[in-house]
Structure 1
Amino acid sequence: MKVHVIEKTNNFKKLRDNIWESGGWKLNESKAKELIGGKIYFHKERQEASFYGGTVKGFRVEQDGANQGRIAFEFQYHQECRNIRTDRTGWSMKMKIIAEPEPGI
């Protein structure tokens, strides 16, 4: 799976070498689990190419503050996840999830 998200404020936290976190995403835990191993692309606007991204390694549910109950994704940055575009259809709020077809289907 792939997820494209709108991130206008560069709200990233470095966890360790080349591993980052981006939080505050309104998504249920079961869908977040499905995204592990997939790509995440960060855009300033829906129609702009991604400026950052990587492979989703995990997530956590934020426990307090303004983002309580929202998802924080842990991801490994990949240069090839920059300058990726997606079409304007399929967005819901600030997020677009694309399910990739199974190989051979």
Structure 2
Amino acid sequence: MPSIHFICRDRLNLHRVSDDGEYESGNWGVTAADAEKLIGGMIYLHNTKSERSYFGGRIKMARPVVTDDARSVRFVFRIEPLQEAREVRWTGADHGMAWTSGVVED
């Protein structure tokens, strides 16, 4: 199952969006192909790569958003939060400047 880890300090751009408990997180600079691949997979949010995830869950959908920054199209993920997605160690890209793990196959 594909998964992705992001550094998302202090719950930045993480919002509850439905009465059934789903959240949205974004604006993430991933490709359209990766966003599509991640639907049904897992997302893990961390304050730092050395800390375990504080939030995560199953990705239900991905929607593009247009921004003014260098990467004009980014993605917002709709998430079903899951307890088992908390306290997960970072896996994937872990060099000093990495803000995402990239897509990882678990």
The TM-score by the shorter chain falls in which range?
0.7 to 0.9
Distance across 1 between alignment mates of 2:52 and 2:15: 21
CA contact (8 A) 1:61 1:68 kept: no
Does the 8 A contact of 2:23 with 2:79 survive in 1?
A: yes
Structure 2 SS opposite 1:37: coil
Percent of pairs identical after alignment? 28
TM-score under structure 2 normalisation?
0.83
Matched, 1:3 2:10: no
Gaps of 5+ in 1: 101-105
> Alpha carbons of 1:39 and 1:9: their partners in 2 closer, same or farther (altered >3 Å)?
same
State yes or no: 1:79 paired with 2:80. no
TM-score, normalisation: structure 1: 0.83
Q: Which runs of 5+ in 2 are unaligned?
A: none
Specify the alignment match of 2:50 in structure 1. 47
Q: State the Cα RMSD in Å.
A: 1.9
Count of aligned pairs: 99
Structure 1 residue 63: deviation in Å?
3.0
What does 1:1-105 align with in structure 2 at a 5 Å threshold? 1-10=2-11, 11-16=13-18, 17-64=20-67, 68-87=72-91, 90-91=93-94, 93-96=98-101, 97-100=103-106
CA distance in 2: counterparts of 1:73 and 1:51, whole angstroms: 16
String of CA shifts for 1:36-59, please: whole Å, max 9, x gaps.
111100000001000000000011
Q: CA contact under 8 A between 1:24 and 1:72: conserved in structure 2?
A: yes
